[in-house]
Amino acid sequence: MLEDMLEKWRRGTRGPLPQLTPLQLLNALLLIDQEGPVGRRALAQALQINDGIARGLLERLAEQGIVAVTETGVRLSEEGKTRLREVLRQMSVKKILTLENSDLVPGMTAVGIHLTRRYEVGMTGIPQRDEAVKAGADGSITIAVKEGRLVVPPDDRDAADLSPKENSRLRRLFKLSDNDLIIIGFAKDERRAMAGALAAVLSLSPKT
């Protein structure tokens, strides 16, 4: 759906937004949803894009009824919230949470994304970590649910051995089932951690 939106804009009469990626579009929608009303400059800074691209993005979102314009910025409309929920559903995203003071990444801000039934045999978590770093985060951790255990690929080390406290907290925060994933992006601030977690999720192979 994100690619479809970008492709529609590229074919439109207003001109393309060639520098905008699916990650930046998704990050923008989540940022506006969580922090709206959001101004153009704040959005440009958060997404690390120039002011002109941020302006073009908001104009297109407004034209499609995805955002509503207020005196202090834009917020997601009901149509926008519906579209965002559909995007997240297609990605198998069940929940996104900021994880304060995680023992798994001491001194870092962490954002955890719960994905339903996205574990695949042979998953290492390395491509996800690399994409998180490219997005500006310090890294990511992939945790899989296997036979009721929370394990970290590729060696399936038990999360309870790494941090009993965090293992218990993740189980409490997320309603987990076998073959689910939790991808944790971490960085020095929440926005980079979120971008890293989202980049890691988008790097997963298409859902079959």
> What is the pTM for the complete model shown?
0.92
pLDDT score for 13? 60
How many CB atoms sit inside 10 A of residue 30's CB? 18
**Please, are residues 16 and 27 in contact by the beta-carbon 8 Å criterion?**
no
CATH of 93-202, one of 3.30.1360.30, 1.25.10.10, 3.90.1560.10, 3.40.190.10: 3.30.1360.30
Distance of CA 13 to the CA centre of its chain: 30
pLDDT score for 15? 60
pLDDT score for 17? 63
Strand partners, 69: 74
**Please, are residues 40 and 51 in contact by the beta-carbon 8 Å criterion?**
yes
State both tokens at 187.
């960085």
**Please, are residues 79 and 66 in contact by the beta-carbon 8 Å criterion?**
yes
pLDDT score for 3? 80
Q: Where are the domains of the chain?
A: 2-87, 93-202
pLDDT score for 208? 59
Number of H helices, E strands in the chain: 9, 8
- What CATH number belongs to 2-87? 1.10.10.10
- Per residue of the chain (208 residues), give pLDDT as tens: 788 777 777 666 666 566 788 999 999 999 999 998 999 999 999 888 889 889 889 988 998 899 999 988 999 999 999 999 999 999 999 999 999 999 999 999 999 999 999 999 999 999 999 999 999 999 999 999 999 999 999 999 999 999 999 999 999 999 999 999 999 999 999 999 999 999 999 999 877 5
**Residue whose C-alpha is closest to residue 169's, from 157, 156, 179, 182:** 182
